[in-house]
Amino acid sequence: MDKIILASNNEHKIKEFKEILNDCEIITMKDIGFRDEIIENGLTFYENSMIKAKTIMEFLKKKGIQASVMADDSGLCVDSLNGEPGVYSARYSGIHGDDEKNRQKLLKNLANKKDRTAHFICSIVELYPDGHSIHAEGRTSGSILHETKGSNGFGYDSLFYSNELKKTFGEATAEEKNSVSHRAKALEKIKILRTK
């Protein structure tokens, strides 16, 4: 079974990766003893995912560990807000990971907007010890509701009405979300690239 170091401490993301890449052993940053904060100062999802992957790869090399590193950066892009929150999705309100405050800010910024179309993007890289990498992007479309619906998932899931599921990600089961989500689509592409 392939071992992959996943450059994430987000329990929700880790769970999704394990469910989708169920033929690989997913090892987290916590598992390898990485405790530092990674500064994600890229301007695109791809740049941020590569920053994370390279940081963890450097850490592994210092420890003498040979393994590939997978990292993702993902976020919500709302058309009428010029793509906001985008790469700032997790820290939209100014506090990293405060889902409730992030959702409140989004609703406030959309208060006078008729166009509520949006999409989630996920950019995933897998970086190998020899320096080469593979990259894939996934996208799923929908719209932002006026109030939350459902308590599953995380982040903006309870506000994001999926065009494919005809319900919010917050109302969807893990299996339903993983069948259409941006992360699932990117991972399916990564799976194909890994076999080439």
The chain-wide mean pLDDT, for the chain, equals 95
User: What does the domain layout of the chain look like in residue ranges?
Assistant: 2-194
Q: Which of 2, 159, 188 is nearest to 89 (CA)?
A: 159
> What CA–CA distance (Å, rounded) separates 162 from 141?
6
Q: Catalytic pick from 31, 36, 73, 130?
A: 73
Percent of the chain clearing pLDDT 90 (strictly above): 91
Instruction: State the CB neighbour count (10 A cutoff) for residue 107.
Output: 15
Helix or strand run (H / E) with residue 3: strand 2-6
Q: Does 196 score more than 90 pLDDT?
A: no
Q: Are 176 and 166 in contact (CB under 8 A)?
A: no
CATH number for the domain running over 2-194 = 3.90.950.10
Catalytic (active site) residue 115: no
Instruction: Dump pLDDT digits (tens) for 40-59.
Output: 999 999 999 999 999 999 99
Confidence at residue 162, expressed as pLDDT on a 0 to 100 scale = 98
User: Residue holding tokens 């995933």?
Assistant: 124
Instruction: Dump pLDDT digits (tens) for 59-110.
Output: 999 999 999 999 999 999 999 999 999 999 999 999 888 999 999 999 999 9
Confidence at residue 135, expressed as pLDDT on a 0 to 100 scale = 98
Q: Does 117 score more than 90 pLDDT?
A: yes
Query: pLDDT band at residue 120, thresholds of 50, 70 and 90?
Result: very high
> What CA–CA distance (Å, rounded) separates 9 from 38?
11
> What CA–CA distance (Å, rounded) separates 59 from 52?
11
pTM: 0.93
Q: Which of 73, 47, 74, 55 is nearest to 5 (CA)?
A: 55
Confidence at residue 195, expressed as pLDDT on a 0 to 100 scale = 87
| CA-based end-to-end distance of the chain | 17
Q: Does 1 score more than 80 pLDDT?
A: no
